[in-house]
Amino acid sequence: MTAWAVVPAAGAGRRFGAGRPKQYLSLAGRPVLSRALAPLLAEPRIKGLVLVVAEGDDAWRDAVGEDHRVETVIGGAERCHSVLAGLDALAGRAAGEDWVFVHDAARPCLTEAEVAALFRALAGEASGALLAVPLADTLKRADDEGRARATVPRDGLWRALTPQVFRYGALRAALAAAIAEGELVTDEAAAMERAGHRPRLVPGASGNIKITGPADLDLAAAVLTARQE
């Protein structure tokens, strides 16, 4: 089973308000990005990793160091553009049937066990897979005034995480088609779904959080402390 990884890290992180992209902030003594990459780089079945960065950005070097399995390319305006740029960089090396793991640069609490669970789920799977967590909270739909209008049934609803893993050729085609038709999908599974695929949902850890604000950084630190990392 041949696999690759693409990590979009071209976002500026303006919502975080830290003055620098959130993937470069320190988390328990290491950059967030370093922790996000580590479980992928620890997996021997992943042959190489493409890190997609913003033009003129060289802060990634502190997170990557001298690991020659990591190459960088310049990203685009939206996540989908950056992921497609990462896939384009694999052209000529990745075969159409190879698997590609796409992981958020701001998810520093991914575990090697979750990566292994995805590999197990891919055996005999044609449509790919993604980590996800079944929703446990009661969901409310709001009106224009911010008042609860309805309770939304949560049966069958999951919260999508990353990595998300798909065949190289199919994912590249699905993302290119979505972008060409003006649909800026927010994750790779959405592109695959609109192309007719039904990716498998693999239960992930609730601690595999995405850093979007200062409170998330504190929560990630608590997760890592609980794991003694």
Report the pLDDT averaged over residues 66-77.
91
pLDDT at 16 over 80: no
| Residue 106 to residue 209: CA distance in whole angstroms | 8
Q: What is the dihedral of CA 116, 118, 120, 123, to 10 degrees?
A: -140
Q: Name the burial class of residue 123, with classes exposed (0-12), middle (13-18) and buried (19+) by CB atoms within 10 angstroms of its CB.
A: exposed
pLDDT band for 29, please (50, 70, 90 cuts).
very high
pTM, 2 dp: 0.94
pLDDT at 19 over 90: no
Report the pLDDT averaged over residues 116-136.
95
Residue type, 83: V
pLDDT band for 17, please (50, 70, 90 cuts).
low
Report the pLDDT averaged over residues 195-223.
96
| Radius of gyration of the chain from its Cα atoms, rounded to whole angstroms | 17
Mean confidence (pLDDT) of the chain: 94
pLDDT at 12 over 70: no
